[in-house]
Structure 1
C-alpha cells in the first residue's frame, strides 16, 4: 500500500534541544529570523532550544527544514569549526535559494554589520563603523544576536570585529540615555574593556553585542557619577526645538523608565527581551513602558502613536534622527581599548598581590607577638559576710619579688643595720 501524494507528510525528525541550537547557529540564523519564518515568537523558538517544548505539525516540519535536519536534506557539518566559517546561509533543496525569512523592515539602535547592505532606511541609531554610510544600510533584526566569531579568527580579530560593529551605535545610545557625550564614550569603553577581560565568556555568549550593551547601560546609569564633577550636569541640549524637546523629555524620565523606553522603542527589543536585559519581570517592564510613553506623550503629543497599524511608534524614527543629528565623540580604536584593558588588569593583579603579601605579613607578626597562654586576672577584693577585705599588702608581683631579691643581695655600706631578732 502506497502513501497518497496528497496525504500528510511524516513528521520531520528533530535532534536534541542543544543540537537544534547548534544547527541554527551554524547557519547564522537568529531566533527572530527562525520565529518569523516558522510563524511563532522568538520566545517559542527559545523554548524549543531549551527543551521546554517541541514544535508540532507544519511548524515542526518547517523548523526542521529551516535548521537543516529534515529527512530530505543532509544535515550541516557537525560544527562550525569544521567548516572554518560561520556565515553559511540555508538554501531550499534543489533551488539554491534561501527560504523565506523576514527582512529587517525597521532600523534599530544596534550598529549593522558591514556585510548586510540593503536599501535606504529611515534614520536610526544603527550607524555602521564607517562614516557617511548610515543611510546606505539597514540594521539587522533587532532581536538577532551578533554573529559569533568563527574559528578562523583570532581572539583579537573577533574582538575588533565586534567592537567595530557595535561601538558606534552603542555610543549614541549612551548619549540618549545620559545626555552626556563624555560619559557615553566612557561607558562604551568601560564595557568593552570588561568584555576583553572576559572574552572567552563573551565569545561564547549567544548575543555578544547584547552582553556589551548591558554592561554599558549599567555603567552609564550608575548613581556614583553624580559625585564626579565632570558628570554632575548633562551637556547643553540641542538648539533645534524639536530635538531639544525630545531629548529633554527623555532625560526627564526616571532612569529605569528611560532605559526601558530606549531598549523597546529605540533599539527594538521585544518586551520579554527588554525585561530580561533590565532584570525585571515582564509585567513590571510593561508598566514602565506604558508610564514612560505616557510621560513623553504628555510633553510631545503624537510621538508614541504608531506610524502605521501594527508598526513601530513614531518615537523610534525620532530617536534615530536625534542620535544621528548630534555630534557624539567617536570611540577609541579597538587596539587601544584592548591595551587599556590589559593594563588595568595588570594593575589590579599587582594590587591584589601586594594586598596578599601585606595580609600574610600582618598575620605572621600577630602570631609572633601574641601571648601563648591565658593569664587569669586577679579578682578585686570583696566584702564577705560583713568582713572587710584585707587591708594589708597584697601579693607581691614578679617585679616586686625581683626588686626584693636584688635588695637582699646587695652589701650594706656604713654602720651596721639594726635587725630585730626573735628571742
Structure 2
C-alpha cells in the first residue's frame, strides 16, 4: 500500500528533549493532543509514531508553534464519531497502555486517513459526515450545564454519526438505531460515571458497538429476514464485503479507517493488543482489496465508507425521547426487581410457616402406630344391594344362558 507524505518528526530522544526543554510533562502533551500519557510515552520510546492530524499537532507542539492549554480538544476525525466527546476530560483518569506493535508486523503499512469533503447530493446540500456530530466551531461543554443539557449536547455530538457507523457494522437500519438508543439510555442511567469519563463519546461508541455486534440478536424473529440492501451497486458491494468479515475485523477496520483512531486507541477499544489490532486491520484490508481492488488506497476506502453510510439518510431519535425511554426502562426494571423480591419473600415466609420445626425420628419396624383410625368392616347392606347380590349369585358361572334357535 502507498503512503501519503507525513510531517517529519525528530528522533524519539530528540522529541523527549524538546518536550523537556519547554518544561512540559507527558501528561501536558497528552492533554493537549487528546491522547493518553501511555501513547506519548510510546512515541518517545520509538515503539509507535503519531499519524494524521495528531502528527502535525505533535510536531508544532515540539517546535513551540502551538500553545499548550489544559483542555485542548482533539480535532474530530472525518468519520463515525469523534475520538473525544464535548465533555471535559478528567485528568485523574488514565487508560492502560496497549502493547506496542512488533517489528515483524506490517503496521508501517497503515497509512493515515485524510478527511475528504463529501457532498452526495448537491441539491440537498452537504451531507454531514459520519464523524461530524457538531460544527467545527463547537466548544466543550461548560461545567455549569445541567445533566439534561450536558446529555443532550453529547447526544447531538455523537448520535447522528454513531447511527451511520453502527449501520456499517450490522447492515441493519433498525438495529443501528436501537443500538445507539440503548447505548445512550445506559449512558443516561450512569450519567455521573459517563460525564466524568475522559472520553464520553468513546464510552457511548464502545457500548453501541458491543450491543450491535451481540450474537443474541440472531435469536430475534425479525433478525431472520434480511433488510433491503443499498440502492447503488457499488454501495451494495462494499457493504457485502464488510458483512462477510468477522465482527472483530469489521470493527477494527471501521475504527481505524473510518473513525480515524490511532492504532493503540483502536486496540484499546477492541480490547486487543496493538500487534493483534494491526494484524486484524491488515487482514481486513486485504479481504476488501481482494473483492474491490479500487479501494487499495486508504483515502479512497475512507471516502467510500463515508459515502455508503451517508447515502442511507439514517436519523437518530430526539434526545428527550431517548432520556424518557431510558427512564421508563429503568422504572420497569425497578418494578420487576421489587415484584421478584416480594414473591421471593412470600415464598420464603410460606416455607418457614409450613416446614416442620422439630425432628421426628422414623418408626421402627413392628412398632405400634398411634393416631391412625382403625380399619372398620363394611356396614349392613340395603334391600337393593341384597337383591343384587342374590341375583348375581343365582347366575351361572358362565353368565346368562345363550339363546339357541329352534327349527320351525
The TM-score normalised by the length of structure 1 is: 0.63
Task: Please give the alpha-carbon distance, in whole angstroms, between the structure 2 residues aligned to 1:327 and 1:63.
Answer: 41
Task: Give the structure 1 partner of residue 212 of structure 2.
Answer: 220
Task: Give the structure 1 partner of residue 322 of structure 2.
Answer: 337
Matched, 1:253 2:245: yes
Aligned with 2:177 (options 172, 176, 185): 185
Task: Give the structure 1 partner of residue 259 of structure 2.
Answer: 267
Aligned with 1:348 (options 308, 333, 340): 333
Matched, 1:108 2:104: no
Task: Please give the alpha-carbon distance, in whole angstroms, between the structure 2 residues aligned to 1:138 and 1:175.
Answer: 14
Gaps of 5+ in 2: 1-17, 45-59, 87-114, 376-408
Distance 1:63 1:14, change over 3 A: farther
Aligned with 1:362 (options 335, 347, 350): 347
- Counterpart mapping for 1:115-194 below 5 A: 121-123=116-118, 132-134=125-127, 139=132, 149-194=141-186
Aligned with 2:369 (options 376, 397, 407): 397
- Counterpart mapping for 1:39-118 below 5 A: 43-44=39-40, 66-67=68-69, 107-110=78-81
Task: Give the structure 2 partner of residue 321 of structure 1.
Answer: 307
Task: Please give the alpha-carbon distance, in whole angstroms, between the structure 2 residues aligned to 1:112 and 1:102.
Answer: 7
Task: Give the structure 1 partner of residue 192 of structure 2.
Answer: 200
Task: Please give the alpha-carbon distance, in whole angstroms, between the structure 1 residues aligned to 2:150 and 2:291.
Answer: 44
Distance 1:15 1:147, change over 3 A: same
Task: Please give the alpha-carbon distance, in whole angstroms, between the structure 2 residues aligned to 1:226 and 1:174.
Answer: 16
Distance 1:342 1:63, change over 3 A: farther
The TM-score normalised by the length of structure 2 is: 0.65
- Counterpart mapping for 1:272-291 below 5 A: 272-291=264-283
Gaps of 5+ in 1: 1-7, 36-40, 49-57, 69-87, 90-100, 126-130, 141-145, 307-312, 381-393, 405-423
- Structure 1 segments (4+ residues) deviating >3 Å: 8-17, 45-48, 58-65, 101-104, 111-115, 131-140, 146-149
Question: Post-superposition shift, 1:195?
Answer: 0.7
Task: Please give the alpha-carbon distance, in whole angstroms, between the structure 1 residues aligned to 2:129 and 2:164.
Answer: 18
Distance 1:113 1:195, change over 3 A: closer
Query: What's the secondary structure of 2:78's corresponding residue?
Result: coil
Per chain length, whose mean CA-contact separation is higher, i.e. which structure has more relative contact order (CA < 8 Å, sep 6+)?
2
Counting matched residue pairs gives: 310
Task: Give me the CA root mean square deviation.
Answer: 4.1
| Contact 1:260/1:288, CA 8 A, preserved across alignment | yes
Question: Post-superposition shift, 1:15?
Answer: 7.7
Distance 1:269 1:60, change over 3 A: closer
CA deviations over 1:261-299 (Å, ceiling 9, x no partner)? 111111111111111111122222222212111111110
